[in-house]
A and B are shown apart, each in its own frame.
Chain A
């Protein structure tokens, strides 16, 4: 909390007065009969690096997937810069959980990153030199250029995560949604990833990250949303990342673990 950057905060507050990068209204999602997200209202200002935290089953991934239209909500709406998500798709990039795909799929690192260009290409058109160049640049940004021809199953977990990140970077979006990008990666990859996220924020992008490690929230992020089926709180880390909200979200007292 102490490491928070106050300039950053001022900037985001001004942005909040104009138009929100992401605005979620009354979002309710259920699997079968069980509600997973209940009546979520959420406003994400432009240019923040935001963590979504909450216990397992709190609906963190579901929230991202519903915003991105992968899951169909029972009720509610999502707008990106004031317009429906469907019209603003090209402004949004997604980094799914690493475990959501089969890494034994017969393809190379470069090929996966190239998939990031498919959206702007549209139907049928094939990626050409321009797309390849973009993909190579993205691979370089995540420090994976020398692995471009590598079969993806022969990459380590951290390298696979970087490939996913590079694929999203290729999209050159304004808003990035990432589902647990730090899961199962080693310390050096974690640092590499957070540096990229901070660079994105510096470039004025909005980054939303499902995050598990509460210890690193104040260090990595400037904005946070507490989620447990309902939205508990959302705002600047330095204002709302406190024991009260942690206890409300996780249901147990967090004093010891955070204050150390």
Chain B
């Protein structure tokens, strides 16, 4: 199957449609909530939560013996929440910094989860095969009810976000100030965190414990590059996330069933890369272009204002001067003199230069501006 076939099949084929819809919704909700995680500088929280969910999956299986994804995800939710609130507890009750707490919870929970998984695999239970799909995810196992669950959670979190938009924003920007205005910041904080945990747990089946945090961070990081408005950022992150899901699924389905989770993450990373380079205001490319252009403009201005100072001392502003006398000043090159001539600011004749009226006027304005700026 190639990409073209995929897109023609996506509307008719049940499995393909389910998977595509699932990954799109997942990308949208993680992108949306990921914006909050990124802006709170809690990027690693997603990683910790997803790893902390693993033992929950194993324990849910051990208790119920069933492989029903909803049951397992409920287990993941519980242990993910426990992990998250332990992290908060460690940070507030001890001297440890949040990166230490995150790292600690991440590895301890993940280690415990792996221990349980290997224990389960030793069990003489035919049902046990396939639990390890939660490590790297397997989008192909998505069924309609999974997608419905994702859609419901996405809908609820969207409503909550719209309802508490103002509260979320002020908590993200200035928590102490929000507290003085009478908002219970702990409640808002818990609300955001619970939804982040929910989104991550929903993604475990598709993208897996190990890669899930990228779904949270990549779309948000990419979106931040394109906008200076929080609402636009959240919308863009959702769109990037959804597209990563769809493209990732398309590529994985058309290329001999490459593992979907990793492909989605790679696609999201491409969004990030493109955003880092090509964003008009924050991107590396345009920043470099602006830098070079500004430097060139400044060089010209410096040369021009130096000429202005010389010309100023003469009654006739267009009195010709030797180019040589610019030598003790390092801002000029043959190129910059030529550009100045092209702009009709100066006239070059042999080894002399002279300011034109236009050049004199521009230079005197320049000088006034500089003077004002210094005040």
A and B co-occur in one complex: yes
User: Measuring CB to CB, which residues of chain A are less than 8 angstroms from any residue of chain B?
Assistant: 32, 65, 68-70, 89-90, 92-94, 96, 100-102, 105-108, 112, 115, 118-119, 121-127, 151, 153, 167
Q: Which of the candidate stretches B123-131, B133-141, B225-233 sits at the interface with the other chain?
A: B225-233
Cα-based distance from A90 to B41 in the complex (angstroms): 30
Chain A residues within an 8 Å CB radius of B6 = none
Interface centre among A102, A106, A118, A167 (most CB of B within 10 A): A106
> Which B residues contact A (CB, under 8 angstroms)?
39, 41, 95, 163-167, 169-170, 172-174, 176-183, 224, 227-230, 232-233
Taking a contact as CB atoms closer than 8 A, the residue among A96, A119, A124, A153 that contacts B174 in the complex is: A96
In the docked arrangement, what's the CA distance between A68 and B185, Å?
14
Q: Among A65, A107, A112, A115, point to the contact of B228 (Cβ < 8 A).
A: A107
> B173, A107: Cβ atoms under 8 Å?
yes
Tell me which residues across on chain A come within 8 A of B172, comparing CB atoms: 105
Pair B163/A70 contact, Cβ less than 8 Å: no
A119 to B173, Cβ gap below 8 A?
no
Q: How many Å lie between the Cα of A107 and that of B165 in the bound state?
A: 13
Contact in complex: A126, B166 (CB < 8 Å): yes
Structural contact, B173 and A112, CB atoms closer than 8 A? yes
Given known pairs A69-B180, A89-B182, the reply for A115 and B233 (CB within 8 Å) is: no
Chain A neighbourhood of B170, CB < 8 A: 115, 118
Mostly, the B contact residues are helix
List residues of chain A with CB within 8 A of the CB of B177: 94, 96, 115, 167
A118, chain B: closest CB distance, angstroms: 5
What distance in Å separates the Cβ of A91 from its nearest Cβ neighbour in chain B? Answer: 11
**A123, B167: Cβ atoms closer than 8 Å:** yes
A106/B164 in contact, CB under 8 A: no
With A and B bound together, what is the CA distance between A70 and B177 in angstroms? 9
Supplied contacts A32-B95, A89-B181, 4 more A-B pairs, CB within 8 Å: A102-B41, A119-B182, A126-B166, A151-B228
The answer to whether A118 and B183 touch (CB under 8 A), given A101-B174, A127-B166, is yes
Least distance between A175 CB and chain B CB atoms (Å): 11
The residue of chain A having its C-beta at the shortest distance from the C-beta of B40 within the complex is: A102
Complex contacts, B224 vs chain A, CB 8 Å: 106
**Residue pair B180, A121 in contact (C-beta under 8 Å):** no
Residue in B39, B177, B183 whose Cβ sees the most chain A Cβ within 10 Å: B177
**With A and B bound together, what is the CA distance between A119 and B164 in angstroms?**
14
* Bound CA–CA A102/B164 (angstroms): 21
CB contact between B176 and one of A65, A92, A105, A124 (< 8 Å): that residue: A65
Which residues of the partner chain B approach A106 to less than 8 Å between Cβ atoms? 39, 224, 227-230, 232-233
Contacts of A126 in B (CB 8 A): 165-166
In Å, the complex CA distance between A202 and B174 comes to 29
Q: CB-CB < 8 A to A69: which residues of B?
A: 179-180
Query: How near does chain B come to A248, taking the closest CB pair, in angstroms?
Result: 30
Query: What is the chain A residue whose CB lies nearest that of B179?
Result: A70
A107 to B224, CA, bound (A): 11
- Nearest residue (CB) in A for B234 is A106
Contact A70 to B176, CB < 8 A, known contacts A106-B224, A123-B183: yes
- In the bound complex, residues from chain A placing their C-beta under 8 Å from that of B173 are 101-102, 105, 107, 112, 115
Residues of chain A with a CB closer than 8 A to B176's CB: 65, 68, 70, 94, 96, 100
CB distance from A88 to the nearest CB of B (A): 11
Kindly state the separation between the CA atoms of A105 and B169 in the bound complex, as whole angstroms: 10
Q: Which residues of B contact A119 (CB under 8 A)?
A: 180-183
Q: How far is the CA of A101 from the CA of B174 in the complex (A)?
A: 6
Query: Contact at A68–B180, with CB atoms within 8 Å?
Result: yes
Contacts of A32 in B (CB 8 A): 95
Residues of B within 8 A of A115 (CB): 169-170, 173-174, 177, 181
Chain A minimum-CB-distance residue to B281: A151
Listed by A's residue number, 29 A-B pairs whose Cβ atoms lie within 8 Å are A65-B176, A68-B176, A68-B180, A69-B179, A70-B180, A89-B181, A89-B182, A90-B182, A96-B176, A100-B174, A100-B176, A102-B173, A106-B230, A106-B233, A107-B229, A107-B230, A108-B228, A108-B229, A115-B169, A115-B170, A115-B174, A115-B177, A118-B181, A119-B180, A119-B182, A124-B166, A126-B165, A126-B166, A151-B228
Complex interface: chain B residues within 8 A of A70 (CB): 176, 179-180
B87 to chain A, nearest CB (A): 19
Which B residues touch A100, using CB under 8 A?
174, 176
Residues A105 and B39 in contact, CB atoms below 8 Å apart: yes
